[in-house]
Structure 1
Amino acid sequence: METVVRGLTKSDWNSVSKIYKEGITTGIATFETEVPDWEQWDAKHFSVCRFVALIEEKVVGFAVLSPVSKRDVYKGVAEVSVYVSNAFKRRHVGEILLKQLIEESEAHEIWTLQASIFSENRASINLHLKCGFRVVGIRERIGQLYEKWYDNHFLERRSNKIT
């Protein structure tokens, strides 16, 4: 089964929000506890560099970027989000999406991608390392979810195309 990547549109929101909900349910994908509505989610992310992965025309994953700051000096720095449906994990969907996101981000003059990943989420950390990210550090007890403290691995990828 071939994985096809295309731009994410509002019409994908139903599928994307379900995949995001699966991530929330794991307890190690995000500190969010509820899926926002489309307008809230849309406003939080860049309008470019939004992708869905499809297998047999079904949305099975998504990848997007969000700004890390509104300050002009950080206009080329973005935070990565990659989510894959539980039913399609271990099929390289995340890798395909992340590689597309990297390529497209460089085309939009984004020079640094960063990711803050729960330390327990080894699959996501390994995916980012495989795609050229490096661990910058571990943010200990950075956030609390359901009365439990979590560490985050902080990773980044600096473009070698944008100097």
Structure 2
Amino acid sequence: MIKIKTSTRRATPQDGERISAIYNQGIKGRMATFETRLRTPKEQESWLEENQQRPAVVSIIDETIVGFAYAGEYRSRPCYKGVGEFSIYIDGKYRKLGIGKELLLSLIEEAEKLGYWKLVSRIFDFNDASRNLCKSCGFREVGIYQKHGKLDGSWIDCVIVEKLITENLD
């Protein structure tokens, strides 16, 4: 694996243009989301503005955002306030360079600072890269949602992953 100098930082609304471009690659690639509607930079800027209290990070190479990770609200009930449902997207030109691991570890750190005690996600069962990434960062697979949703007319099973942030458990 080639090692490239990267940095991570908290995402800001000004990152909306690059984040929408990367997310739209993910939508078109059909490997990581059931979403089919492409996002505009303005939509991503607004989402980031409205969710500044949530963990969201970007990875940067030579002043260019090459990936992002965020944790949205898991459920609206107060008992789940410290649980975040996360996603990671990497620009196709920068995959398989270790950026996903850097982003996920940075997201965990950001979630810990914000008081989260757990991160969860659902991964398409055939997305081995994401499953391996999560395992390498201490996530465990806890089950499978069978036929969780249809994408392009086909049923997809999703693997459920979770990681406890033990520093925030009382």
Match of 2:9 in 1: 6
Aligned-pair RMSD on alpha carbons?
A: 1.5
Flag structure 1 segments of 5+ consecutive residues without an equivalent: none
1:13-162 alignment runs, 5 A limit: 13-36=16-39, 37-38=43-44, 41-42=47-48, 45=51, 47-162=53-168
> How many angstroms does 1:95 deviate by?
0.4
Separation (CA, whole Å) in 2 of partners of 1:138 and 1:70: 23
**Contact residue 17 and residue 44 of structure 2 kept, 8 A:** no
- Scaled by the length of structure 1, the TM-score of the pair is 0.94
Give 3-state SS (helix, strand or coil) of 1:31's partner. Answer: coil
CA distance in structure 2 between the aligned counterparts of 1:43 and 1:5, rounded to whole angstroms: 19
Aligned in 2, Cα 1:39/1:6: closer, same or farther, shift over 3 Å?
A: closer
Deviations for 1:28-51, whole angstroms, at most 9, x for unmatched residues? 210111133236633785533211
- Structure 1 residues 40 and 136 mapped into 2: Cα distance closer, same or farther (>3 Å)? farther
Per-residue CA deviations over 1:101-133 (Å, capped at 9, x if unaligned) read 111111111001001010111100110111010
Identity %: 37
How far 1:71 moved relative to its partner? 0.8
CA distance in 2: counterparts of 1:135 and 1:24, whole angstroms: 24
- Cα deviation digits, residues 55-85 of structure 1 (max 9, x gap): 1111100011101111110001010111111
Q: Quick one: structure 1 residues 5 and 99, their matched pair in 2 at CA, closer, same or farther if it must change by over 3 Å?
A: same
- Output the CA distance in 1 between the equivalents of 2:73 and 2:18: 23
